[in-house]
Amino acid sequence: TLNVVCFDKTGTLTKNKMSVKEVFALPGHSEEDVLLAALLASRKEDNDPIDNAIITYANEKQIDTKGYVLKKFVPFRPKIKMASAKWVHEGKTGIAIKGAYSVLEKMAKADSKEKATIEDKISDYSKYAYRTIAVASGSKSPKLIGVIALYDEPRPDAARMIRELESLNVDAKMLTGDNLKVAQEIAKEVGISKSIVDFSEVRNKSEEEKEKAILTSGGFAEIFPEDKYTVVKALQKEKLRVGMTG
């Protein structure tokens, strides 16, 4: 008998079809600036859901990359949580970056007021379960210029599936690389009642504390692919039969 099912959020509990809901630019920058930088740091051939959403929205807004010559592109990877592009335009070299705010905040220039403005906006967006991508650009050292809110809505049958599992005494746990507030909102929408925990807060704790968090939580945010192995092993250690999807 199955005791626990661990769900990947994206594409399992959600539709895995991102769309841009809103673009926010810091003072001194425009929405067009943010979209242009995000578009330069996106690539159609990768068929990445976030890239696709940005490309579609930028096309709708008629953002033009004509004259920008791409010199280097680093696609998004879960480990680095960002994508970047180096480009040349009218003889000037620049860099465009899009990715997790927690990563860009450390590497892109922003004063405390700008960081507070961005963090307030991210907090607002997370109430609606919007996923937020930070955007930075610059000629030599990148500067934080804004954020893009995206939404991947829950699948219509996700809440029913969670209810059915609970009726069979199967514990459902959600595992996602997204930030905590987005994960908490999606969990609420699909009916996962146990708390969602930021895995970065338990990753370096003692084995005993880690195992307790894994057993008692409804899932984890900010999780790396290799952390999923840690979660499954901890549950199996308790003699639980574990299923994994996604």
Query: Could you list the active site residues?
Result: 8
Whether residue 180 contacts residue 198, with contact meaning beta carbons closer than 8 Å, is answered with yes
Residue matched to tokens 């004063």 = 111
66, 73, 88, 161, 196 from 69: Cα distances, Å: 8, 11, 5, 48, 43
Closest CA to 143 of 189, 110, 176: 110
Closest CA to 137 of 23, 237, 37, 70: 37
Whether residue 9 contacts residue 158, with contact meaning beta carbons closer than 8 Å, is answered with no
Q: Residue 87: enclosing H or E segment and its boundaries?
A: strand 82-89
Q: Using CA atoms, how far apart are residues 210 and 203, in angstroms rounded to an integer? A: 7
Neighbours of 204 (CB within 10 A): 8
Q: Which long-range contacts (CB under 8 A, 24 or more apart) does 112-116 make?
A: 114/26, 114/144, 115/144
Q: Using CA atoms, how far apart are residues 179 and 146, in angstroms rounded to an integer? A: 17
Provide the CA 195 distance to its chain's centre, in angstroms: 19
